[in-house]
A and B are shown apart, each in its own frame.
Chain A
Amino acid sequence: MLGYLKLEVLRILRDGGYLMMNLVSPLTMYLVFTNIDLGGQGHRDAAIYSMVGMAAWGAVGAVLTNGVAIAEDKALGWIRQLRLLPLHPMQVVTARTLCAMIVAVPPIAGVCLAGGLVNGVSLSAGQWTAIGLLLWVGVAPIAALGLGIGYLFSPTKAQAVGMIGYMGLSLLGGLWVPVAKLPRWAADVAPITPINRYGELSWRIAYGHAPLPAGVGVLTAWFAAFAVLAVAAYRWSSRRA
């Protein structure tokens, strides 16, 4: 499994343009967003809110595009070749999830650094550490979802499905604007969606609260569901006459 992780990480690290793209778009969004006055909340709260939101948005985008790229590997016959090696599907999916999560590191680090250095977000060392870790670990369910999409669909379809999932779940997740400002039905649905609970982990820490058990529960349940989907999709993807 480590060998597979190493190989896929190597392939990602050699794709500098792709890594940059994952860093630049959330960072730009963050800096632009936070320097126009959206009004409403106090400036400090708003800066923290959008820092976490944009870091999460960048992380989600990174893992989803990374998962969707699997569809291209699949078209090359690479997934089928992997299936014919003595590797357990669970090992492949675990390694590939970790690999997608590595791509999430630059946007998380970049946006948090910009928050602290440029926008003057001040948090305790413990809060910074916790937020950094939770933003990273908490993106695992979305990484698994991205894998599932990549294994299931053709490259163009995977891209479309990934994009719809990305935009829809990010909006419901409150990554751009707080869920309270969304229509009533959306605000009601949001708490059972994965990205909302993902962002919530770090927002709560930033505002000095402990994560909600219900939030952790919902996120864990999504992780389990998406991991099962990813393993099944991996196995299914090589079924071709």
Chain B
Amino acid sequence: MKNAVSFTGVTKRYGAVQAVAGLSLDIPTGQTIALLGPNGAGKSTTIGMLLGLLPPDEGRVEVLGGTPEQAVRSGRIGAMPQEGRPIPRVSVRELVGFVRGTYPRPLPLAEILETARIADLADRRVDALSGGQSQRLRFAIALAGDPELMVLDEPTAALDVESRRELWASVRAYAARDRTVLFCTHYLDEADAFADRIVVIGDGRVLADGTPEEIKSRVAGRTVSVDVPGSLAFLQGLPGVVVSEVHGGRARLTTTDSDATVIALARAGAIRNLEVAGAGLEEAFLALTADPERVA
């Protein structure tokens, strides 16, 4: 299958900070892919280079068979950048109408508004929209040109559950037409629910890459939970543990070797109300980003 996006050995540095460190990534046409990573992992820089806003220091970024700039200029990309707020004194219809007009083969206005679920707001001034509505408008802008590739940078940040659900329904409707969608998110459940593939990024590199199921199984991650009535000293230096949290007198340990962890807990006499469970995506994510060497 042809690649919609291809990063080859891409690096980007800001002064002393290496934001992206030798990133290589191919995204086949038609895939919905989530970029997942903690703040400062290099996601936004990666997106900036993908959209031609930032030039890479080294390596090559190819989008739809050309440079990012060519792809943007020819109207083959729709983007929803992070943190956009509505500009004053235009209506939804005027704004989306303008955006449509810049693309060579836009979708009909009614279809855009319908897909983004803002048809009832067409005559509303954009600066009078609620947070969720304005986010849907921003999605409509990304959608308007019927692009081959859609890039969404944290599309549901700061939205309530209902607004998130509605936005994802819209994205899904678009992706169903065999379009390529790349999105960044902090919400692991979104990556799990909406992506065909998840790429975990940390320190500017790909830490893991696979289907949500693969990512979860990639780290043989387990959680071990025990009650901790008194001192927490025994939690120090347990084998296999990458993340430990204590809430309400109970420790929840994310481990890559649950056997070793449990044996060590037993030696410390700390087995109280023991529970061992398979890790969810969140644990896998924490394990991956806490100890990149393990899966590299």
Contacts and interface: CB of A to CB of B under 8 A. Distances in A.
The 5 closest A-B pairs by CB, nearest first: A77-B84, A86-B75, A3-B101, A84-B79, A14-B89
B87 A73 contact: yes
A6 B95 CA distance: 11
Nearest to A81: B84
A95 to B, nearest CB: 11
Contact of A10 (B54, B74, B79, B94): B94
Interface in B120-178: 141, 145
B99 interface: yes
Given A77-B84, A77-B85, A86-B74, 19 more contacts: A3-B97, A7-B94, A7-B98, A10-B89, A10-B90, A11-B87, A11-B89, A11-B90, A76-B85, A80-B84, A84-B51, A84-B77, A86-B103, A86-B145, A238-B53, A239-B48, A239-B53, A240-B48, A241-B14
Contacts of B14: 241
Contacts of A86: 72-75, 102-104, 145
B248 interface: no
A4 B97 CA distance: 10
Contacts of A10: 89-90, 94
Contacts of B282: none
Interface of B: 14, 19, 44-45, 48, 51, 53-54, 72-75, 77, 79, 81-90, 94-95, 97-99, 101-104, 141, 145
21 contacts: A3-B97, A3-B102, A7-B90, A10-B90, A10-B94, A11-B88, A77-B82, A77-B84, A77-B85, A80-B53, A80-B81, A81-B81, A83-B72, A85-B75, A85-B102, A85-B103, A85-B145, A86-B102, A86-B103, A86-B145, A239-B54
Contacts of B88: 11
Contacts of A84: 51, 53, 72, 77, 79, 81
The contact size tier of chain A is: 20 to 34
Contacts of A37: none
A155 to B, nearest CB: 13
